[in-house]
Structure 1
Amino acid sequence: MEASKCRVALRDIVPSETNPRGDFGDIAALAETIRATGGEPVNPPVLVRDGNICRIVDGERRYRALCEIYGEGSEREVDAIVYDSFDEANELVAMLATDDKKPLTEAEVSRGVQQMLVLGVDTERAARASRAPRGKVTAMRMMAGRAPEGVQVTLDQALAASELSDEDAEAVLAAGDSWRWEVSKIKSRIAEEERAEKRLGALAKAGVEVVSEKPEGLVVIRTVYPYGTTPAALGKEARDLGPECVAMVDPDGTVRFFGPEGAGAKELTQEELDRERSKGDSTDLYDRIAAWVLSGEMEVTNEINDGVRDGREFTLRYGDAKTDEVYSALSDLAYDRARKLRQVSRFECESYLLRTARVNIYDVLIFKARYERDERQAAVRAAGLLDALNLAVDAGFETDERDEWLLGKCAEMAGKLEGADA
């Protein structure tokens, strides 16, 4: 496979169909550089004879620049390094390995490596030619043929996929440009699975049976949330409760321990007692509000109407209105839109009241552990509960002695917020 330097007419030179490059850069600027150095590039293009023509092995950018100077199909002869024969694999190696060309993009290098591997170039040679890490080229070889038809896989993508299970690897290879996001999701899932396995291991080591359904005749005696609880702490909790309890692990990692009534009881602080009582009282309060709304006894008040309208409000931006006439016309349009939105249905009013009560009373309980050390946040939630209840009371809901303790606690906490803001 010897080469010789000779003169070849531009009309007899054709680009190679195997070139992985897609972006040839600023050809006009390269042509100016070649003009300045005598009309031919310092490094001649590398060609291989193919019948009466010569295909480009390396130097397509230089060839395009010469065509820019002398015209495509010109009879002008230029210097070239010409091989009498050159197989496809060696062509690709030469195209990727030349030093003085415009750097290839990641996609172009990946495409070239993939083509070399298909043509049988060994891993070491492909890595040297592409200047890619050997590990990435090895990963590309491992993943060869596993990507969906028509999807170009990058070296980094192949490396990431090679570190995953078969099913996850195929998902990464099929993800296209969003493969990094796919890898992130998979790694998050794997991390959670590992945490779940450690939780189960801690329960097994403590001698606690794990069940899939709530056991009959037993009650929840302890709930352990996943965040901030180590497997060691979970295991200690299980051992403290004793062998008579069983555990059920929720999908989010929460562990609920079941046992006989009174089992695992421990002395609670006053804050813990208040928190437990508030959960039951606030849940009961919401359930009674919901039953009352659904009974149809709720009166539609102006406050409820206003709340619904505010949620449906369409604010028209006046933008860059330049004249009074335009501004006036836009104002009239906004007013007309707001007037039409004032038509509120009873269903919307009932839904609004239930949604308000649920947010303030049921979903975000004011004494949850996350607010224990944040008095201001707890005070905001307490004020929200009172506002929601007042809205219901104005519409006809009646409180009773069951609510006195909870409302007193809320008023006390909301008062701290008012005092702090004063």
Structure 2
Amino acid sequence: MSIYDLSNRHPDDLMRRLRATTAEIGGDDAVAEIDALEKRLQRYSHLPGVLKGLAKLDFSAALCDAAAYVVRGSTMQKLVDDTLFGAWAVFVLAARSDASVIDEIEAGVSGDYVAARVRELRNGTKKAVDRRAAEPQVTAEAAPAASGNELAGPASVGKVKAWLRDHPDADPRILAPKPKQKAAMVAAAIRALAQLGTPAAFEVIKQYATDKPTDPMLEELKRAWHGFDEREFAAAMFRPSEALGHLDLGIVTKLDGIDAVDGLRSLRVVIDDNKSGQTDLTPLRDCSTLTSLDVQFNEPVGPANVDWLRPLSGLRSLRLAGPMDGVDLTVLREINVQSLSISLVGCDGSILLEVPQLKELTLVGASARHDPGPAVAAHPGLTQVVLDLVERGVAVSVYSFDSWSSEVLAEAETAGMHLTGRSGLTTIDAARQSRRSERAGPVG
């Protein structure tokens, strides 16, 4: 497990996510394909065999579209680290939906073997696409109409390009929401409308706005976001949950216009830049209504800076999950967060003593025991920082996967502090020490 993902304390279940997304798009029939795929994967003994074997098979558009959404909504290197054969099998499916995902895989996965496997993936994808193209196809005109005499829109995102080519003058209203519309057609309609990119197309996209988008729909909305006026699009299409004002965007590459979202009180984003350059987080400066912010950095290096936090005077809960070495964290002195979650692997944590309103801290101090790469020890002074914080009344939580946690927990127990464990997380507070002082009565 990555030390940078503080919210997931178990390896990602790739097939579970694929099943859920496939069910949204294609229903039970498409999900049944995954059972057959998992059985087939058990037959292979090496990765080239996986790629060669799956290249000979055909899969439903729903399953391939679902795979593309799962891949693009994930850290690709983590998928491979968690389940090598499973990840590359899903890559095969995703490439059938959109061949451009292969370039993203090539950029997002490292290793000496990757170049050869990517070549095999490209060749296998081309053969599969050519094979499918040679089969008799049902034209859009011959397909059942959506309602009355209206022309049906594309059935999946993989068919959007061809549909637009065959219907260059189609009225965008054809792509408006329809009763009992499947998730695959919703995603395809949004992509088609985004590629049209006209004001009329945007008026139709706005009809899809909801505070409960499916994963495929959310991915298409993020894809479409920067093709329109960004503030106008964000205001119309991103709706926080009514109860909490929370919006979870997952992996993002741009955030321009995010401040236009009405009622935004809580936001989660994932930055997974890989080799494509750093995502600009300065638009967050203008999100003045935020009280809770969760930013996860999955790339090898953390943010260039966190100065964009400075104007967020209403922020009370902050999570910065990712490498913070070399990042100037003095801005933490100026904000009023009461709950902070942060990774300080190998870093000096003395700045934590200067966070004025801090009441709860969740901290990673060293690399995980089974994390790839050289082990990184906690900063020598970090344990004392934690003990000082607890003495001040701050409840500090550490993870069991953190190789430094045994040291700080032992010191805390020796100091008479209270330890409470739950789900791989142990919280240190001064409750026991306080109760002892109360029992002892006044001094003097």
TM-score normalised per structure 1: 0.23
In our comparison, the structure showing a higher alpha carbon Rg is 1
Q: TM-score, normalised by structure 2?
A: 0.22
**More helix, by proportion:** 1
